[in-house]
A = this chain, B = another copy of it.
Amino acid sequence: MYTRKDKKRSSGSTGRHELSELGEFGLIDHLTKNVQIKNPGTIKGIGDDAAVINTGNKLMLLSTDLLIEGVHFDLTFMPLKHLGYKAAVVNISDIAAMNGVPKQMTVSIAVSNRFSVEAMEELYSGLLLACEKYHVDLVGGDTSSSVTGLLISVTITGEVSNEDVVYRNGAKEGDLLCVTGDLGSSYIGLLILEREKQVFKVNPNMQPELDGNEYVLQRQLKPEARTDIYNLLKGAGIHPTSMIDISDGLASEILHICKQSGVGCRLFEGKIPIDPQVKQQALDFNIIPSVCALSGGEDYELLFTVSQKDYEKIRILEGITIIGHMTSPAEGTKMITPDGVAIDITAQGWDAMKKRK
């Protein structure tokens, strides 16, 4: 689901402006800057993981994501069933990020005649598997032919009460910054798949070496959405002050929360949860492990803030890591290395608009 980011357009030039000048977030920001909300039922429009609609009883959440062959996925190593599953999960994750419960889904596909009916059956079997696991109803959509490749557009609804809903903009100075699960593993999975694809191109008789990489491959090919966190936090009596899902990388998501909440932050590099095996694999690729977490993306874990008074409650929860705290905006958005050096956090998150330059 899209969000705004105030990237400036290059000034001083006239005439045609290339899309790559703006990037994905910049383009959305530019195109939607004059959008005004008029219906009283529309509580939150553009700018969070999902739109929020007042239905008079509970709140309804609405989010949508587009997945395009050659941009978001590579069918040479992404089985269609996994792709269907993942297309559903990335949307379900947006609902989890609002502290909501996913409910209904529409799926539109555009497909070239390169694909068979059997291929579409595979894709749908993955979609329906995710729907079953997360108790989501597939309620509609659209299909069409495509000039090239495969495109999947998923829209999801969710439900949340007025008391439970969590936005990106509620973080306060002094709040604790927390994350679920571990980060960076999906990116390592992608690197391994891309490496094996290159090996296969050079020698098609080589079998891909995927043994021992099951965890990172599963994180990349069959991610799960953290819909369990809603109950975990509720059970512990914790209401997050802000929340976002990690699709573009930890750095990008932290900056979203800081900007929308009007706060700064201190992130402690040494606290970022990274699986020990993933750390080793990152080093094997000559990448600093924390960079996989900061810029890799596609982890679909939840990043959230809680009030400092909830410290005792949150620190005992399994699978949740406190990685920093929020500060005044004047203190900036910094990561503190294990040596105590403060580095500005910059979003090098995966940018679909720039990737194709």
Interface flags for A18-55 (1: CB within 8 Å of B; 0: not) read 11111010011011101101110110111000110101
Say how many copies of this protein the assembly contains. Answer: 2
Chain B min CB distance to A238 (Å): 26
Contacts of A34 in B (CB 8 A): 128
* Partner of A148 from B19, B44, B148, B159 at Cβ < 8 Å: B148
Cβ contact within 8 Å between A30 and B103: no
Q: B60 to A60, Cβ gap below 8 A?
A: yes
Residue A71 at the B interface, CB < 8 A? yes
Partner of A1, one of B66, B137, B141, B145: B141
- Cβ of A103 and Cβ of B42 under 8 Å apart? yes
Distance of A47 from chain B, by nearest CB (Å): 8
* Known contacts A104-B42, A121-B31; is-contact A71 B146 (Cβ 8 Å): yes
In the complex, A22→B121 CA distance in Å? 13
Chain A: how many interface residues by the 8 Å CB criterion? 84
10 A-B pairs in the complex with CB atoms less than 8 angstroms apart: A16-B118, A17-B118, A19-B120, A31-B120, A37-B137, A39-B135, A62-B155, A113-B356, A145-B355, A155-B155
Determine whether A111 belongs to the interface, using a CB cutoff of 8 Å to chain B: yes
The answer to the question of A340 belonging to the interface, with a C-beta cut-off of 8 Å to chain B, is no
Q: Does A202 count as interface, using CB distance less than 8 angstroms?
A: no
Indicate if the CB atoms of B120 and A45 lie closer than 8 Å: no
